[in-house]
Every structure is written in C-alpha cells, then in structure tokens.
Amino acid sequence: MLKRTWIPLARRFHVGRIIQNNYAYISDFPTLSSKIDSTINTTEKVPTDAVVEAVRACGNLIASVHEYDKFWENPINVSIQNKVLELLSKDTVEFDKELLVRLMLLKLPTKLNILIVSEFYKRNPTAFIDRSIALIPFRQSLYNGDLQNALKLTDMTVGHPNYVDHRAKEFRSGVIRLVCSAAGISLMSKFGVEYLIEFDILPEAWRHLSGISLMLVTYLVNSSFFVSMVKFGRQVVLSGGDYLTWQRGTFYTHWYTHGDEMLFCSKIVDADININGGGISGNEPTPGLIEELCRVDPFFQGHTLKPGYTRDGKKIRLLEARDNMEEIKMQAYWMTGGDGFEWVEPDQDPATLIWKNHLNKFDKPYLKDDHDTVKSLKWADDLVKDN
C-alpha cells in the first residue's frame, strides 16, 4: 500500500542567511548621505565591511549620475567624493592597507582613487603603498586611457618618498647582510680553525686550509657583487623597455630605488603610443609626455644627478628617452632605397581592438596637438636635396 509522505520545505530546500544591502535602491545623494550617517556609528570602531559597502554605494551613485567621468565637476560628484573622504577621515575607521586594497578593487573613478590615496597618506604619514597595490588603480587608469592621472598615481605610489625610502632600506640591508656574511665566514675560517687545532679537535693539516677558505670567500663575494650589477642592468632594461633609460650621471642606487617608477612610466609611454598612433614610425610617443617624464634641470651643477623639482615646481625623474628604433629603420630604408627591407602587414591583436572600442566611450584624455601630428622629416628633405 502506497502512502504519501510530506517532506518539510526546510529539508527540500537549503535555507541560507540572506545578507541585505543597506544601500540598495538609493538613487539620490541626500538619501545616501543620511543612510551612511545612520548606518555607520561614529562612537565605535567601524567594521571594514561597512566602510567598503558605503564607498561602493557612493561609486554606484557616481556611475548612475553620468557615464564614466565626462562630467566629473558635477556638483553631485563633488558632494559624493567629499562624503567618501569624510568617511575615511573618521578616527573610528581604521584606514590601513587592507582597507585600501579593498577600496581599489571597487574600480572607482581614477580621480576618486587619487583622493583616496591622498587620504591614506594623511592617516598614515609614514606608510608606503606596495607596487602590487598601486598596480590596481594604475592599470584601470591605463585601460580607460587616462594617462595624466596614471602619471599622478605613479608619483603618489611607487614614486612617493616613503616608497623610495623603503626601497633604499631594502638595498642597504642587502648590502649589510652580504658584508656581514663574508666577514663572518672569513673570521670563522681563519680563527675558528686555529682554535680547533690548538685544542686538538682538528689535525695540523687543517691549518693550511684556512687560506683556501679565504680565497673561496673572496671569490664568492666578488661573484655576488658582479651578479648584483648584472641584476641592476637587467632591471634597467626590463623596467624601461624600449622607451626609457636613466640619464647619464644617475647613481646606481637610484636604479634600484626608482626602478618601479621607471616601469610604470614606460607603461604610460606604451599606452600613449597605442592611443595616439605613434607618429610616422608608429613608435613615437607624444612630445609633451616625453618632456614631462624626461625633464632635465638646466641649473644643475655637479657630477651625480639627483631627482627633485625645478624652480617652477616641475618634477625631475632622471629618465631619458631611448632612440626610436622604428624611426632609425625608416631612415635606413630611405637611405638604402629599400634594399634588404620587406614590408609586412602588422599583426592585429583582438585585445587591442577591444581596448580601442572601450576608449571610444571616454573623452580623449591626452591627444596630440595638430602641430605634433606629423613629426618633422627635415632629414628626409635634406636627403632628397642632396640627391
């Protein structure tokens, strides 16, 4: 005989805890502001999740006000960003690196990210932002074609004095460890063996091995030094890529402490070439960008260059533009009449096409002027006249 069995809904369906967003369905700033004030208690420590949720709601409201950041000076946007800064400046909010990472992962507008980074330094004057954290808003800025703010983020993160001091401490500690290790091994090889021989722990034949140990230690120290120099050289090549190098007279320690800054600047140059076309050769960055990155102090007197600022407050990064190999190839092509050259079609990367379509949604943030569209080909005119 069949019998109908009733199974409770709780057994047939998984009943989970539903987390309701406190800021759902809010479409105006006054409501959002009052909701943040009522949700976040200013007398007790605010949980990190509550801060992230509030900032995410502000970011969503910014996205609903307009498309991307074409009208960033909108009064509503100014009010929203002031609310975010007011929230992060509260003493009950622990603004540490963990919170900074979570805020950067929200993919907020780049200008708001810059304000958040500035507030982070106000709350943590001695802190530095790791390269892995700085890459989050930096890559987003490049993806949106906002090269000017990408350069600002570079100066505020891997180019910040706190980060440079951190890299300098790493360099000094590495040198000290190397010297102490070499000195310790040398002393143990020399005096430790003598001590063990005197107490008949080691035979007399070991006395001559101490000299061999010193030779071996000297070889290892020299090898470590040259390996370090090779790493410095590779860092310069990998950081600057095909576009940037250090100015002559830049000390070697500067290569290490500012290597990440060069890496970020080279990525900006690469994005500039892809956005603006690269000139005649296809590999020529915008002159204004190179002028900003490779500025030289005309009043400097000395042998070792130092980074800093000019008298009018413009930053000196000690960078120098590499020779444009594509332009050199083009000159060689015209001078040889095309002998030994073969024209080929450039590869079309689907990712580049997707990126270009994405950039069309934005205002062009950093375009060349009309007089920079075509680079002067005076060398070609002279060549034609001579022939």
Beta strands in the chain (DSSP E): 244-246, 308-309, 315-316, 319-321
Structure-block tokens of residue 115:
């304000």
pLDDT tens for each residue of 32-85: 899 888 888 777 888 999 999 999 999 988 887 755 445 566 788 889 999 999
Three-class secondary structure of residue 245 per DSSP: strand
pLDDT tens for each residue of 111-138: 999 999 999 999 999 999 999 999 999 9
Q: Which of 296, 318, 293 is nearest to 307 (CA)?
A: 318
Q: Which residue has the tokens 């019998």?
A: 3
- Where are the domains positioned within the chain? 19-156, 158-239, 241-366
Q: Provide the 10 A C-beta neighbour count for residue 13.
A: 8
Q: Which residues 6+ apart lie within 8 Å of 193 measured at CB?
A: 202, 206, 207, 209, 210, 213
Give me the phi and psi of 315, to 5 degrees please. -75, 140
Task: Please say whether the beta carbons of 40 and 87 come within 8 A.
Answer: yes
Tell me, what DSSP letter sits at residue 366? S
- Mean pLDDT (whole number) for 292-303: 79
| Share of residues in the chain with pLDDT > 90 (%) | 30
Whether the pLDDT of residue 348 is over 80: the answer is no
| Share of residues in the chain with pLDDT > 70 (%) | 68
β-pair type (315-316, 319-321): unpaired
Task: Please say whether the beta carbons of 320 and 249 come within 8 A.
Answer: no
Q: Which of 108, 115, 179 is nearest to 144 (CA)?
A: 108
